[in-house]
């Protein structure tokens, strides 16, 4: 990839030293209590970056041992924005309304617009948004909503960076839970042809690292990048690999009449995710979720470090931990960003 193919302000050589400027003020993390947010905050702490962790769960604010790091923010209530944003220069936006049920697309759009407008009245200098891979055809409602959210941020004076990832593998990932539960709880799999579509799943470790790099990479204009994992796999191959690593043998039969809607109903009966979540996630599978835009790893001059097999094994191991993320995962995340931490000294 040549320099001319990259958006303005994204040179090949990028220095972690710019993170020194980031730690001058807290980074606001929207969705800090979620799967990605929990892992991200561990790594940000390891780099010395102060975080302001936003949540709409008042009970969490009352019970967390680190109350000073948390702030109440309800994206449906714009009156809560100002206090959360005060003193911050950077925002990591992880909110997705998929679990909120019917009408989540409207809620995501309204939340993005309202929050974007609020940032323009403050000293926010950068927003990093974690979106999803956008297929060119057969785009599901939740992937279209993620595309729209990224566009809302980019089509404004706010300097924003959107990273588009496919399935994120780690304990607590709803999409990986579907793979894991399919492999474990369904001894006979009726695999429809649409499971032969492909994607580049990615380990949570690499996603966290990329987001932190996104805070400090030189930018002069908003942009989006693909954030692919190290392998291109069919959904069928990913399920089979998970089953093998879990020590399961599944009897696989091709069944062309199994629609995504029927598959969602079946999996919701044996899986841990609610039917509404399962249906939305499976609706994205009949399309190829392969990256087709500029690659963030190429921009960094790096590559994802954690293999899919390693990521699956770590997710399985973390299931038995009482700490979320587990102590082993926390240590691994801290080690992953060690070089960035040294750059802040």
pLDDT of res. 8: 41
Token representation of residue 342: 């040294």
* Residue 290: pLDDT over 90: yes
Average pLDDT, the chain: 87
* Residue 343: pLDDT over 80: no
pLDDT interval class at 256 (50, 70, 90): low
pLDDT of res. 128: 98
pLDDT of res. 341: 65
The rounded percent of the chain whose pLDDT value lies above 90 is 56
Quick: pLDDT tens for 10-42: 443 344 446 666 767 899 999 999 999 999 999
Determine the Cα–Cα distance for residues 223 and 132; give it in Å rounded to an integer.
14
Which residues, 6 or more positions from 329, have their beta carbon under 8 angstroms from its beta carbon? 39, 42, 170, 171, 314, 318, 321
Cα angle value 118/120/123 (rounded, 5°) = 105
* Residue 134: pLDDT over 70: yes
Mean pLDDT of 56-83: 87
pLDDT of res. 194: 84
Token representation of residue 143: 């992937």
Q: ω before 31 within 30° of 0 (cis)? A: no
Determine the Cα–Cα distance for residues 33 and 38; give it in Å rounded to an integer.
6
Of 30-44, 120-134, 327-341, the least confident: 327-341
What is the set of domains in the chain, with CATH numbers?
Answer: 3-343 (3.40.50.720)
Bigger pLDDT: 340 or 327? 327
Of 14-28, 72-86, 94-108, 152-166, the least confident: 14-28
pLDDT of res. 153: 97
Smallest CA-to-CA distance from 9 within 114, 126, 97 is with 126
* C-beta of residue 303 within 8 angstroms of C-beta of residue 210: no
* Residue 246: pLDDT over 50: yes
Determine the Cα–Cα distance for residues 114 and 288; give it in Å rounded to an integer.
32
């Amino acid at each position: 990839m040549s320099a001319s193919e990259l958006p303005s302000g994204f040179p090949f050589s990028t220095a972690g030293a710019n993170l020194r400027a980031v730690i001058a003020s807290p980074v606001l993390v929207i969705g800090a209590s979620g799967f990605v947010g929990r892992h991200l905050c561990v790594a940000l702490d390891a780099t010395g970056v102060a975080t302001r962790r936003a949540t709409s769960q008042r009970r969490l604010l009352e019970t967390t041992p680190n109350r000073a790091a948390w702030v109440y923010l309800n994206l449906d209530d714009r009156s809560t924005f100002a206090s959360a944003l005060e003193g911050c220069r950077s925002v990591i936006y992880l909110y997705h309304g998929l679990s909120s049920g019917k009408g989540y697309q409207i809620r995501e759009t309204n939340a993005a617009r309202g929050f974007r407008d609020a940032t323009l009245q403050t000293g926010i200098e950068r927003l990093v948004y974690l979106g999803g891979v956008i297929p060119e055809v057969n785009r599901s409602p939740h992937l279209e909503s993620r595309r729209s959210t990224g566009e809302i941020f980019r089509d404004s004076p706010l300097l924003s960076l959107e990273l588009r990832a496919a399935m994120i593998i780690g304990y607590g990932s709803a999409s990986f839970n579907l793979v894991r539960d399919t492999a474990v709880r369904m001894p006979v799999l009726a695999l429809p042809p649409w499971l032969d579509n492909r994607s580049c799943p990615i380990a949570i470790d690499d996603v966290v690292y990329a987001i932190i790099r996104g805070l400090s990479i030189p930018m002069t204009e908003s942009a989006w990048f693909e954030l692919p994992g190290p392998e291109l796999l069919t959904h069928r191959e990913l399920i089979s690999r998970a089953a093998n690593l879990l020590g399961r043998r599944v009897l696989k039969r091709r069944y062309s009449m199994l629609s995504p809607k029927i598959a969602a109903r079946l999996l919701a009966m044996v899986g841990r995710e609610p039917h509404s979540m399962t249906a939305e996630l499976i609706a994205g599978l009949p399309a190829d979720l392969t990256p087709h835009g500029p690659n963030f790893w190429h921009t960094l001059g790096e590559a994802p470090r954690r293999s899919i097999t390693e990521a699956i094994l770590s997710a399985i191991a973390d299931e038995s931990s009482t700490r979320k993320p587990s102590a082993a995962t926390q240590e691994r995340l801290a080690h992953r960003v060690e070089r960035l931490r040294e750059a802040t000294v």
